[in-house]
Amino acid sequence: MTRSKFTFACVLQLALMALAATGSAQAADVSGGKDHPLISRFAGATLEASKILEFDETTVVAKPLPDVDKPAPGALLKIEGKVTHNGYVIKGAKSALEVMRNYEQALAQGGFQTVFKCSDRSSCGEDIGRFVINSRKMAPGGFPASFNANDRYILAKRETPRGTVHAVVFVMQDSSNDCVNVYQQVIESKSMATGQVQVFSAVALKQGLDAEGKIAVYGIYFDSAKADIKPESKPSMDEMAKLLTNNKTLKVYIVGHTDNVGTLATNLDLSLRRAEAVVKALVGMKIDAAQLAGKGVASLAPVASNSTEAGKAKNRRVELVVQ
């Protein structure tokens, strides 16, 4: 089959990434794109399209796919985790076979085990090419309806201390444009980051205190390095006030926590001022001051690593602790 429908022109039109190139190949990589740290590019390749999703679900081909509308059991494998999509162009006298053999060697040396690989219509199925590209919402008129005789595909996986990593490499020969196109996908299975949305109620706060003697309240907001409570904190402040109003004998410490940005002395002062600001606000909401005591512990009690922005965000919090 010719590639008359394939408007690559040595440019991967991966609309899946919303970053697809639409002109002729360029020497420079796409802005912001980079190789995955576990799998580098083929020597001399240009990165034409790239996108990283910290957590997503993707579907890969794990068995021959003659008909994408009627896949055989186990032919399509759904995987969740961090997904990296990269599209490369290799110009010059290279073949899909040479490129794939290099990927196979590198994957094996990197500890990956082959799950499925194929290199012709009978072993791959006519629809594998259409699925790999078009299923990712490639622009109309892009990939041909069936698998090209020179195309090659591999799905491999590797177990790591952090979880399973799957790698997809789809190599496409474009002889009319004297280049090879490579679609590379790496899926790092991991648990989704939770706690990004907080729904607090007085009941939930009480349950947390009864169960553990403390509960973090992430709905109290401050500007950086400041102790003024922001207006969007009102829902959580209202629920804390309701908790304390409904439980007159309950006495709690309002404990301020920070990340580790800045000096310990500065953060101790900041965390205390923030805790005292919450105490003052609750007293202003007619809560008995005898039920409250503000304390600041800066970054001395982290709940996540301060090496990442997500970890720092979790460490910046107000906690209720039973006295």
Q: What is the pLDDT of residues 307-317, one digit of tens each?
A: 888 888 889 99
* Cβ pair 81, 190 in contact under 8 A: yes
Determine the pLDDT at residue 218. 83
Q: What is the mean pLDDT of residues 33-48?
A: 91
Strands 163-174 and 292-296: unpaired
Provide the phi-psi class of 98: left if phi over 0, else alpha when psi is between -120 and 50, else beta: alpha
Q: What is the mean pLDDT of residues 175-201?
A: 75
Say whether 37 sits in a helix, a strand or coil.
Answer: coil
- CATH 3.30.1330.60 range(s) for the chain read 202-322
pLDDT digits (tens, 9 = 90+) for 114-147: 999 999 888 898 888 777 765 444 333 333 344 5
Fold designation for 202-322: 60s Ribosomal Protein L30; Chain: A; (3.30.1330)
Residue 282 has φ and ψ, to the nearest 5°, of -70, -40
Determine the pLDDT at residue 235. 87
Task: Name the band, by pLDDT with cuts 50, 70 and 90, for residue 229.
Answer: very high
Provide the phi-psi class of 74: left if phi over 0, else alpha when psi is between -120 and 50, else beta: left
pLDDT digits (tens, 9 = 90+) for 247-294: 999 999 999 999 999 999 999 999 999 999 999 999 999 999 999 999
Task: Name the band, by pLDDT with cuts 50, 70 and 90, for residue 25.
Answer: very low
Percent of the chain at pLDDT above 70? 84
Token pair in block for residue 111: 């500890």
Report which DSSP code applies to 142. Answer: -
CA distance 264 to 275: 16
Task: Name the band, by pLDDT with cuts 50, 70 and 90, for residue 108.
Answer: very high
Instruction: Please name the amino acid found at residue 310.
Output: A
* Cβ pair 41, 85 in contact under 8 A: no
Determine the pLDDT at residue 3. 37
* Cβ pair 210, 202 in contact under 8 A: no
> In the block, which residue shows the tokens 């207006």?
231
